[in-house]
Amino acid sequence: MRRLQALDPADAPGKSRELLSDIVARHGEVGDMVATMAHSPALLQGYLDFSRAMKRVKIPRPLSEKISLAVQEWIGCAMCLSAHTEAAQAAGLSEADIAMARQGTSTDAREAALIALAVRVLAEPSSITDEDMAELRALGWNDRVIAEIVGLVSLNLLTGAFNLLIGLEPQEIS
């Protein structure tokens, strides 16, 4: 059941109206989640800026999707899982890769370590130790990628928690 309704750009508050109108002009439509975020101009602006910024991460797209799948599985957002499954397929991941990512792992040890870190950042960040960081570096992950995990997890938490809060379900995709 929807708890908050999506806004038409014309009905959105000031800054949100501008942001939604710009999205419509560039892409032809606004997604349901974004149109619902428009209730809060600050949230909508923050999400759009953060989402744009996270597109510049150095994490390869297939691995980024694996991380998103692992995090969304933990959060429990069916809408996000559906979207990231489609994105993972478009990035060339197999059904086995997708299933393993949803379990928080990968057949590749380097990737598995980064995916596990992402889940820990979400679920128990205080448990991450100096030894964990040293292990990631020993596997060849640099500080930029390690730092970007926090951003990727945070973006996934924002979208997953928002969709769960508003009651957005996959069958509502237009």
Domain-located, residue 2: no
Both 74 and 27 in one domain: the answer is no
Structural domain boundaries enclosing 137: 61-172
Domain-located, residue 31: yes
Task: Quote the CA–CA distance of 58 and 75 in Å, as a whole number.
Answer: 24
Q: What is the pLDDT of residue 134?
A: 98
Token pair of 91, please? 């990035």
Helix axis angle for 109-123 and 143-166, nearest 10°, is: 50
Number of domains in the chain: 2
Both 96 and 159 in one domain: the answer is yes
Domain-located, residue 74: yes
Instruction: Name residue 43's amino acid.
Output: L
CATH number at residue 154: 1.20.1290.10
Residue 2: CB atoms within 10 Å: 12
Q: What is the pLDDT of residue 173?
A: 43
If the chain, 174 residues long, is cut into consecutive pieces of 10 residues, what is the mean pLDDT of each piece? 96 98 96 98 98 97 98 98 98 98 98 98 98 98 98 98 96 52
Both 98 and 138 in one domain: the answer is yes
pLDDT digits over 73-99, tens only? 999 999 999 999 999 999 999 999 999
